């Protein structure tokens, strides 16, 4: 491998951008495909599927077998609200390999006693997010406070950053009011349509830990099956 290619691969990783190194098994010729180049690549279908799954592997092509070294940034889950659902969700999400952070400016909620072993930021979302690596396509955001003052700024930031998952707790009625506020804030119907609300897969969840399961399942589905299309 050329040192320059290795350097570029490492730079993409440091910037939290996905990339695929394509290596000819016979001969060893190599090229780097950045995530924004994958759609225009001759191997686009294969590369896009690999970017979603994050799995490296062999592919047979007209030019012979190629090995695809897939680098995707570790997925993150940012929970807005140090609430009961988050207490169940944070450890479950960590167990499936998500890098979890909980944000809540209400210091009565955001306590280490309620969230042992979870990175916790007791600041308003705008301030808290400014201190983290920028939101990106490998980040999920779930807004769980029920309080528009806390949830809305995080949702706006998540939609603008094209996070792979944006979910918001609340009934259909609550969500209808949220849609009005976000529209007034200048977000497009397409962007707002990407919010999953009511949040979570419909598994009839009742208790906070059950709701946590339904939210986590929805996050994993978004991660592995690709972004949901905005409803028509």
Residues interacting with other proteins, by CB under 8 A?
A: 1-3, 6-7, 9-10, 13, 23, 25, 27-28, 55-58, 67, 69-72, 74
| Sequence-ordered list of residues with C-beta below 8 angstroms from that of 49, at least 6 positions apart, any chain | none
User: Least distance (Å) from other proteins to the CB of residue 52?
Assistant: 15
Decide whether 57 or 189 has the Cβ nearer to other proteins.
Answer: 57
Decide whether 58 or 203 has the Cβ nearer to other proteins.
Answer: 58
Q: How many CB atoms lie within 10 A of CB 206?
A: 8
User: Least distance (Å) from other proteins to the CB of residue 72?
Assistant: 8
User: Least distance (Å) from other proteins to the CB of residue 166?
Assistant: 23
Decide whether 64 or 189 has the Cβ nearer to other proteins.
Answer: 64
Decide whether 20 or 154 has the Cβ nearer to other proteins.
Answer: 20
User: Least distance (Å) from other proteins to the CB of residue 73?
Assistant: 8
Question: How far from the centroid of its chain's Cα atoms is residue 80's Cα?
Answer: 14
DSSP state of 200: S
Decide whether 3 or 232 has the Cβ nearer to other proteins.
Answer: 3
User: Least distance (Å) from other proteins to the CB of residue 192?
Assistant: 32
Decide whether 55 or 224 has the Cβ nearer to other proteins.
Answer: 55
Question: How far from the centroid of its chain's Cα atoms is residue 118's Cα?
Answer: 18
DSSP of 47-103:
HHHHHHH---EEEEETTEEEEEEEE-PPPEEEEE--SHHHHHHHHHHHHTT-EEEEE
- CA separation, residue 7 to residues 14, 55, 83, 217 (Å): 10, 21, 42, 36
Structure token pair of residue 14: 């440091």
| Sequence-ordered list of residues with C-beta below 8 angstroms from that of 95, at least 6 positions apart, any chain | none
User: Least distance (Å) from other proteins to the CB of residue 50?
Assistant: 10
Structure token pair of residue 152: 């809305």
């Amino acid at each position: 491998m050329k040192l320059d290619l290795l350097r570029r691969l490492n730079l993409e990783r440091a910037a939290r951008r996905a990339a695929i190194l394509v290596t000819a098994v016979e001969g060893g010729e190599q090229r780097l495909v950045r995530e924004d180049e994958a759609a225009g690549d001759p191997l686009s279908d294969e590369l896009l599927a690999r970017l979603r799954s994050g799995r490296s592997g062999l592919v047979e092509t007209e030019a012979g077998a190629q090995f695809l070294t897939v680098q995707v940034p570790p997925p993150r889950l940012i929970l807005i609200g140090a609430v009961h659902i988050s207490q169940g969700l944070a450890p479950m999400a960590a167990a499936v390999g998500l890098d979890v952070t909980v944000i809540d400016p209400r210091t009565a909620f955001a306590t280490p006693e309620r969230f042992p072993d979870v990175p916790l930021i007791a600041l308003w979302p705008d301030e808290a997010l400014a201190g983290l690596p920028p939101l990106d396509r490998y980040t999920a955001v779930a807004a769980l406070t029920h309080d528009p003052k806390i949830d809305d700024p995080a949702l706006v930031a998540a939609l603008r950053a094209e996070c792979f998952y944006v979910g918001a707790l609340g009934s259909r009625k609550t969500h209808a009011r949220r849609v009005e506020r976000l529209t007034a804030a200048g977000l497009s119907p397409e962007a707002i349509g990407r919010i999953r609300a009511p949040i979570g897969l419909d598994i009839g969840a009742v208790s906070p830990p059950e709701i946590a399961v339904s939210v986590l399942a929805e996050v994993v589905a978004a991660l592995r099956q690709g972004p949901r299309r905005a409803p028509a």
